[in-house]
Amino acid sequence: MPELPEVETVRRGLLPVMEGRVIAQAAVNRPDLRWPFPTGMAARLTGARVEALRRRSKYILADLSTGETLLIHLGMSGRMLISGAQLGAFHHDHPAPAKHDHVVFDMEGGARVTFNDARRFGAMDLMQTAEAEAHPLLSVLGPEPLGNDFHEAHLAARLKGRATPIKSALLDQHLVAGLGNIYVCEVLFRAGIHPARLARDVTGAEVALLVPLIREVLAEAIEAGGSSLKDYRQADGELGYFQHSFRVYDREGQACTTPGCGASLLRIVQSGRSSFFCPTCQR
């Protein structure tokens, strides 16, 4: 599933063709994805101007001139693909309609944004913009890891006395929003913290290290356009490249990248998810 860097990369790719533009025509080609689409969604979107395109955790939020906000979740295989617009040095013509093109936005100016989702685990919803933060998917989220509300004091307070592995704690969306399996593995490696160590045993010095490392890893991943492992593509159809910078994730059995270490990286399963780490560098 796309994590924060992938969703942020898609949002940034959509900005030139959506933010400040009118949705000239919206088409909804099936009744549901992960759950049913809102009643009359196509009609409610058609003619609306996208006043702002923002991100909350792993959700893209389009604030509309109608006073509603469109929530978009990419799910496992969802893609927001742009055609009919100049993207950098390339012009992408409109492709022929594809089987899994479930929602299509024809924007003023000729650009088209298509939500394609083969597995149909994605989702869209409409809500009043003024009440967006009360939406069931958003109201439970912790602070954004790249925002000012995520800091050492917050993290220390949420980890204190917690008898759960630090890996699981950092994946808790109530604690911090948007972190996923890939980037938590990478952060814990850089911090030298074993993923199975209990959250309550992480020292104050390590907490102080974790906050900037989380921001560092996410910023690097966004700069690289996210990580393409299976279905993920950027809005222009290109792959992300951060997977080429993985230091531990999906590198089981390979040598640790820390100079002079030489240990083989290991994998364990925690709560049904793979954790990759160095048994020498991470304690």
- Of 65, 67, 51, 55, which is closest to residue 18 (Cα–Cα)? 51
Concerning whether 3 is annotated as a catalytic residue, the answer is yes
Is residue 129 within 8 A of residue 163, CB to CB? The reply is no
Structure tokens at 117: 């989702």
Of the residues 2, 5, 143, 195, only one is catalytic, namely 2
Determine which one of 58, 112, 158, 190 is catalytic: 58
- Among residues 3, 6, 68, 206, which one is catalytic? 3
d(CA 3, CA 221): 10
What is the three-class DSSP state of 3? coil
DSSP 191: H
* Whether residue 273 lies in the annotated active site: yes
Distances (CA, A) of 195 to 37, 248, 277: 38, 12, 7
Cα–Cα distance between 167 and 12 in angstroms, integer? 29
User: Which residues are identified as catalytic?
Assistant: 2-3, 58, 273
